[in-house]
Structure 1
Amino acid sequence: MTRPTEKEISAIARAAGVPLDTEVATRIANSLGPAFDSFAAIAGTLPFDLEPSTFVFVQTEKVAR
């Protein structure tokens, strides 16, 4: 998990069809950076499910029982 750059932010926005100035992409990258830095120490150690779409299935299964 690395800190996003303005180029990466711009590419994601472009892929989503959202026009984004370089200045705005830089501001977004700077505002997200500290969060990525905070989680760097535990990156890769959290037990996330590999397929998030199964979460709804598992929750529905528990409710149905």
Structure 2
Amino acid sequence: MTKPTPQNVSAMAEAAGVPVDKDTATRIASSIGPALEGFAPIAGTLPFDLEPASYVVVQHLTVAR
């Protein structure tokens, strides 16, 4: 997704247990849209090893050495 619609925002907020009204969903969609569009060229290209859960493993390996 490169630019969320208010409907997308409403659905995600509802799934997270924090429902929002239509005006709030519209404001969120219009404010986060440009940031998501900025990442569109690299979307899906980041390797999985950059996933945050591996941070703890890497830190333990560094300390162990």
- Measured in 2, the distance between the counterparts of 1:22 and 1:60 equals 46
For structure 2, list consecutive stretches of 5 or more residues without a partner in the other structure: none
- What's the CA shift for 1:51? 4.7
For structure 1, list consecutive stretches of 5 or more residues without a partner in the other structure: none
How many residues get paired? 65
Structure 1 stretches of at least 4 aligned residues deviating more than 4 Å after TM superposition: none
- What's the CA shift for 1:42? 2.5
- Number of the residue aligned with 1:40: 40
Give the alignment's TM-score, normalised by structure 2: 0.74
Cα root mean square deviation, aligned: 2.0
- What's the CA shift for 1:11? 1.4
Percent identity between the two aligned chains: 63
